Structure 1
Amino acid sequence: MTKINYLLAICALIWSFSSCSKVEYTKVDKPAYLRVFNDFNTKIGVENKDEQKPFMCMLIDPQFDKDGVPVDAAIKGDYLDQRASYAPPYPSHIGSSTSKRNPEYPGKENVPAGPVLNGFDLSSWAQIPSGKHRIVFYYRPMNDIPFFSLEPAIRKNVVVDTTIELGVEEVYTMHVLQTDFKTKSRGLILRKENFHLLPLSDSMVYVNFYNYSAEGFWSADKSEKFDNFEDGLLRFGIRDDINIWMSLCKPGGWTTIPGYKFAYLGQMKRSIGNGVAPYYSFPLFADTASNRITTDIWQRFSLLVPGLDPEKIPYGDRDVNADGQYGLLALYGNGTRQSFERGGLFLPSMIVNIHSGTYNPRSFATVNTIEVINGTAYLTTIQRRYPKPIY
């Protein structure tokens, strides 16, 4: 390809996303870094058809007219849809024009992104001014009309309205979610992350766990919950106190790496709080047979109430009698369901395999968060910067 054709191709690609217009960013002085997830995954059916669908707009420091209708805001995150099951270590939604629906903030928004901070890529976080802010989430219709163009009455349907304080160059993950399954109360979690401040090793994979399920979810009648087969044993909820057991496995079946079958990690307690959970770790090259360039191991987490033996649990493909006592997470390759695993909720592997330097692929360790919320689980992966491919 000639240089001119190459430039034309690049311009065509940019035009397809932004009509070749230049995006002007306002410089953010003393920024904080913010990422936002919509954790509402409640079932909407005949029995609760009048409940609001969990589609939102986020306004930071909104301005109101004389009738209390928001008419502007310092920052807007519109079309905020239910989050995706996997938040990868790069901003995967920028440039996606098939739908305005945004599975996170900043997601598709053209805003100043976070930098590389202490070696960690924060390009999936937005820069916003540090300090005190009023933040309001509104329900909005599931259409393509921008929030401030909606009818005034629609722009007053508040989900959560609160004030937050953000520190300079601090990293925050925010969740808007249901706090009580019976009363349908709603709230926010603002988690001040610490992964970029810890002495983490490049040769270890890290993960921490949260149960952000609404109070009363697991004990509620199953008819009130979304019976999603893809959520496996977890789909009707997990109890408030759970032990976490980890197994590292080879692909294609239930073959564990020596020393990593049902390794006890710790406890996970349900909490709608802002605290940061401890990280657990395992070696990137736990499989000693690997060439220490790439590895294909996958991760399996058994979530069991205290007192249950991970070797003796009667795992079942559609065991509706688990009664919140156990769940199973299988982080396998690209996250596709495997026939050999019964009852697992499948997510992508925490080990990133990508073309880097002269190796294609090369394996990289990551920092991960798994959040259990009302019968399902979500994985967020954070990665350090890695050498670019050499072709």
Structure 2
Amino acid sequence: MNKKLTTLCLWGILLAGLAACSKVEYTEIENPAYLRVFNNLNLRIGLENKDEEKPFLTMLIDPVLDADGTPVSAAIKGDFLDQRAPYAPPYPSHVGSSNSVNNPEYPGKENVLVGPVLNGFDLSSWAQVPSGRHRVMFCYRPTNAVPFFSLEPQLRRKIVIDTVLELGAREVYTMHVLQRNFATRKVGVIVRTENFHKIALSDSLVYVNFYNYSSEGFWQADKSLKKNQFESGMLKYGIRDQMNIFLTLCKPGGFNAIPGYKFIQLGSVTRDAASGKVTPYFSFPLYADPTSNHISTDIWQRISVLSPSIDPERNPYGDVAADTDCQYGVIACIGNGSRTSFEQGALHLPGMIVNIHSGVHNPRSFSTVNTIEIVNGNAYLTTIQRKYPPPVY
């Protein structure tokens, strides 16, 4: 074999190897908007409503319908959209996370072009979509692994939401599918235009805001109609339409409040499942613990959600055994969110402070921007991070 033929053979082997590798080609989007979608339909399906559609969805942006009104294609598809997870971390953790096709958010597991670092904030959990006017549909779909457009036509006609949205270039949107009214089961969407990347935020403070996206009439409804959410603690039957929010910062080892940070009233939260209005951010110091070395901290956050008539100092734990009539709830943001024995009546979520290997420090603590959404007896935490320095090896 001569030298030229040998070279050709080597090139052939290389090209064959490259052809065997799968490659995703992304189409660049000019002036995109950034979109993240959550399915908040945490509904109870039981004997009394067994014929109700299970809250398993497909999102279609700019769908194409045939003469019978059946979706046959779409510019963008978010399939297998399951009920959201309690925690939406500050990085796209769902890609390749399991063999299941079920997606706890969009883009989540979808292999699509995602957002950049915008004004220092990591938008890799938001999908890039073309800005402008779009028709958006959500359809109920069977709880199987068959892609939406491979389903039988009659299974693609279960359209639950059909709306038109205007998305601005370089704007950041969080969309929520939710139940507007508990009695009528009316479903709708809220589209929130985020502003965290537009306001002056300090690296030394942790930020959090709150929403009550519960259905109208949920907290007043009979308990037998509500989903059994034992892990939600005192929140499980919902909260009233107007509640006060108190923050306590604690050291590990129980309800061990840091001096000066016990039952700080942050403000109030009002039920609003319609407007999409952005609520104000509250803050607390990253290094509130006076014993911290200002490199890492292990403090955790206890959120008390109380009716305006309740004084947290007089009733710091709530009566776990009694019916609080939707006037008391506790959210413990600690560690990785696992339940601990000292807060039996609390709903547990991960802590709001990110501790990671960064630079020469392992770990180092970083402030974040957080959102807590309370929806029909449950609570969800979304954490957004800045871009951190990489570890030094």
Letter in 1 for 2:136: I
Q: Residues 246 and 165 from structure 1, CA distance in 2 versus in 1: closer, same or farther, beyond 3 angstroms?
A: same
Structure 1 residue 319, shift from structure 2 partner = 3.5
Q: Distance in 1 between matches of 2:378 and 2:252?
A: 24
TM-score, L = length of structure 1: 0.94
Aligned to 1:20: 21
State how far apart, in whole Å, the 2-side matches of 1:314 and 1:181 are.
31
Greater gyration radius: 2
Q: Equivalences for 1:359-374 in 2 at 5 Å? A: 359-374=361-376
Q: 1:329, CA displacement in angstroms? A: 0.4
- Paired position in structure 2 for 1:160: 161
For residues 310-367 of structure 1, give each alpha carbon's deviation from its aligned partner in whole angstroms, at most 9, with x where no partner exists: 0223745754511111110000111111111130000000000001111110000000
Name the CA distance, whole Å, in 2 between partners of 1:205 and 1:28. Answer: 33
Match of 2:323 in 1: 321
Q: TM-score, normalised by structure 2?
A: 0.93
Partner of 1:238: 239
Matched-pair contact (CA < 8 Å) for 1:40–1:82: yes
Aligned to 1:5: none
Matched, 1:276 2:278: yes
Whole-Å separation in 2 of the counterparts to 1:226 and 1:59: 28
Paired residue for 2:385?
Answer: 383
Tell me which residue corresponds to 1:3: none
Superposition pairs for residues 347-362 of structure 1, below 5 Å?
Answer: 347-362=349-364
C-alpha separation in 2, matches of 1:222 and 1:56: 26
What RMSD in Å do the two structures reach over aligned CA positions?
1.2
Question: What does residue range 203-218 of structure 1 map to in structure 2 within 5 Å?
Answer: 203-218=204-219
Kindly state the Cα deviation for residue 96 of structure 1 after the two structures are TM-superposed.
Answer: 2.7
Residues 142-170 of structure 1, C-alpha deviations (whole Å, 9 max, x = no match): 00100000010110101111000000100
Residue pairs, 1:181-200, within 5 angstroms: 181-200=182-201
What amino acid maps onto 2:84 in structure 1?
Answer: R
Question: C-alpha distance in 1, partners of 2:111/2:217?
Answer: 38
Task: Name structure 2 gaps, 5 residues minimum.
Answer: 1-17
Alpha-carbon distance in structure 1 between the residues aligned to 2:279 and 2:327: 21
3-state SS of 1:206 partner: strand
Residue 222 (structure 1) aligns with: 223
Cα separation, 2, equivalents of 1:25 and 1:136: 23
2:265 matches 1:260? no
Of 380-389 and 307-316, deviating more is: 307-316
SS of 2:231's partner is: helix
Whole-angstrom distance in 1 between the partners of 2:198 and 2:322: 42
1:302 CA displacement: 0.5
Q: Work out whether residues 233 and 320 of structure 1, in 8 Å CA contact, stay in contact via their aligned partners in 2.
A: no
- Partner amino acid, structure 2, of 1:276: V
Contact 1:317 1:342 in 2 (8 A): no
Q: Segments of 4+ in structure 1 off by > 6 A?
A: none
3-state SS of the aligned residue for 1:183?
Answer: coil
Q: Gaps spanning 5+ residues in structure 1: where?
A: 1-14
Pairwise mapping of residues 175-186 of structure 1 onto structure 2 (< 5 A)?
175-186=176-187
SS of residue matched to 1:340: helix
Secondary structure of 2:90's counterpart equals: coil
- Once residues 154 and 46 of structure 1 are traced to their aligned partners in structure 2, the CA distance between those partners, rounded to angstroms, is 23
